[in-house]
Structure 1
């Protein structure tokens, strides 16, 4: 893989940074603790987006092409796949499932503790900021989209991070650890394993599939379900247009073309507040469709697609749909809880082993401390006091959380 071209292009941009520097900026940035850090240009600021955004129709052939392009062995590109994801996430049911799962995780309380369990509210205050909640949301998105690369902005005057930008996923090549300065570039700028100033503001959320390759996100599995559901609704709309409204039938003995044309015009006028004049020997009938259950096949197919999406996102369907069994609903809630716990565990591990070291380099006082969900602390205390629920032999309750790769 030849890296000379992107390095030269990026070097030219670095040399032009002084000319492009915003008015009022300095060569150094304040970090936590009052220390100074060299202010270098961010990678996000060097990206050049296309004038027209990549667009793709939500169709099966387009999905197959996008998937093949993303999984290309020598030149993988995710621009088409990300454009498709943007289309399918307009589906209300899919978006609702994703949002519900994320909200359940993000609504959980958390704290900062040391090895003894002592809490540090003053340090926790550093993370009770909008950027941190948004950051956790982006981490959760990685499961859906497959990869996330975040470019922090420089700390504010107090030495704290306050915002970040998401590197467009369509311009990231996680398989090679590169970012395309332009979506049309053949080779990108490396961001992984490089000791450069621009990488000091980058943080990566990386996931792998069952084969150990870079994950392209579970939205790839949701895509055909959303597309099939759209096809179904289109077919249902066509059927409704053809057979949903009653058919007006006019029996007439007229044979002259002028008379027939007059009858056709009269029938066309039978809309809202319309009227028609017919001969006393003529008769108008309203013919209703004899097949009143024809739409059921479409609603069944649409529900089937929704069920597949629900199983993919939360592992069950009852929490988002009506269920006639309370016991069955409780089982589904426990299955969903396992999915939530798995994502909470992933966030906990990622924050402690990736975000924490990154922040410590920028002066955050996190030595010997770690992030922990308050729910887990409360459960541990309940076990110590004997207030924890007794273990059962219910396989749904005893199933361990899902295993994630990070």
Structure 2
């Protein structure tokens, strides 16, 4: 009997090409292998010095239509990311989004606290952070981890991770195993099974805010380096040694002594040697270097948070309030992007993975957060005007609350007597009308002032005149 021919189509399904070679897997192993993203050949990032010319060349490579390559641009972004002022702006912008409360709403529009417990996890916070980073890098491809059971018995992911950006070519939605490979050799992450485990954030042709930030961080880094060089040259006074000796050994000894003095204030020289200390007169470095650094910081603030006063010193309350409104608009835009990502990508993936979240919708909690003083005043205002269920206070403050006490109506004060009698019944005669008029006349005369032999009415009366003519 002849040998049975093998089915080539079946064999191709069991062949998996990896960076380490082609593997032939069993059927069950092949199915398991397709559920995970391939391991990539990681390489060490380049940390060489970059200038504006390198930035422009990297930009040209990234926008190439036929073979887009962002590797050199991401090397520049790595330098941009370590800028201290830029990092502060990013932390402020992302911090406002990460600190905002969210809620899960069911199909009826009611808040579902049980569904929210699936998102109060470390992996979801990391997912939000990686999604927000797409604003600056331009694109983020995030892989969901394996499904496990948490300590509370709920289904959860064991984490999320970012697919290395240098291996991702978002223009053609593919991942290349080795750096430098053409996108034709990559794997389309929009196709199953990879699409079921990946979250894509950012537009394919977006290069991120770091592209613009590099125009300020590169000159700023150079200005700091030049300022350090200036401090080395002109920061310390120059020491000049003069000697009449012509002996090479003595001159070499003096040279070593001057070089080794450092911060020491002494040295051993032969007789006839003069040491002169020349102070630097250059004092305008502050206006040259520091002003350039301040300008770069202000430009970075405008780029990331839209203004400068929420991270720098403001000049007035009205201006700071206007700048805060601009900043809040940027925060709202970031929140909208996160909400769309969760509702359109994450929740459908979780439902397919078996999470009981069908019909659940993610939204931000826009209820007002009060300070303890404001909360007490708010509750007192409501209590004074409306009937409040005691269960509200019992659940909020975790304390037993009984029935509300009946408030007694306020007692009106006694009215004064209408006749001439006092409360004890003693009769007091009314003062005579003529007597009251005489008392008023004497009081008016007592308010007059005598100056220079004349009596003048005080200031404020109808016929008042100056005290001195």
Provide the TM-score with structure 1 as the length reference: 0.76
> What does residue 99 of structure 1 align with?
91
1:54/1:261 CA distance change after superposition, 3 Å: closer
Aligned counterparts of 1:177 and 1:153: Cα–Cα separation in 2: 20
In structure 2, the residue matched to 1:89 is: 81
Does structure 1 residue 256 correspond to structure 2 residue 254?
A: no
Which runs of 5 or more structure 2 residues have no equivalent in the other structure? 1-11, 370-377, 382-469
Deviation of residue 134 (structure 1)?
0.6
Please point out which of 277, 281, 288 is paired with 2:279: 288
Q: Structure 1, residues 143-188: CA drift from partner, whole Å, max 9, x if none?
A: 1111111222331155432322221111111111111022232221
How far apart, CA to CA, are the structure 1 residues paired with 2:252 and 2:177?
A: 65
2:120 match: 128
Within a 5 Å distance, the mapping from 1:13-162 to structure 2 comes to 13=17, 16=23, 18=25, 39-44=32-37, 46-54=38-46, 56-114=48-106, 116-157=108-149, 159-162=155-158
Mapped contact 2:46–2:75 kept (Cα < 8 A): yes
Q: Superposition pairs for residues 6-405 of structure 1, below 5 Å?
A: 11-13=15-17, 16=23, 18=25, 39-44=32-37, 46-54=38-46, 56-114=48-106, 116-157=108-149, 159-186=155-182, 187=184, 188-192=186-190, 194=191, 196-207=192-203, 214-250=205-241, 254=244, 256-257=246-247, 264=255, 267-268=258-259, 270-276=261-267, 284-374=275-365, 376-378=366-368
- How far is the alpha carbon of 1:218 from its aligned partner? 0.9
C-alpha change, 1:79 and 1:257, in structure 2 (3 Å) is same
Of 98-107 and 315-324, deviating more is 315-324
Partner Cα separation in structure 2 for residue 67 and residue 273 of structure 1: 51
Mapped to 1, the partners of 2:109 and 2:368 lie a distance apart of 11
Whether contact under 8 Å (2:14, 2:25) holds in the other structure is no
**Which residue is equivalent to 2:373?**
none
Shift of 1:357: 2.1
How many angstroms does 1:360 deviate by?
2.1
Length-normalised TM-score, structure 2: 0.67
The Cα of 1:86 is off from its aligned counterpart by 1.9
The separation in 1 between residues aligned to 2:77 and 2:25, in whole angstroms, is 38
Aligned length: 350
CA contact (8 A) 1:17 1:41 kept: no
Q: Is the 8 A contact 2:128 2:338 kept in 1?
A: yes
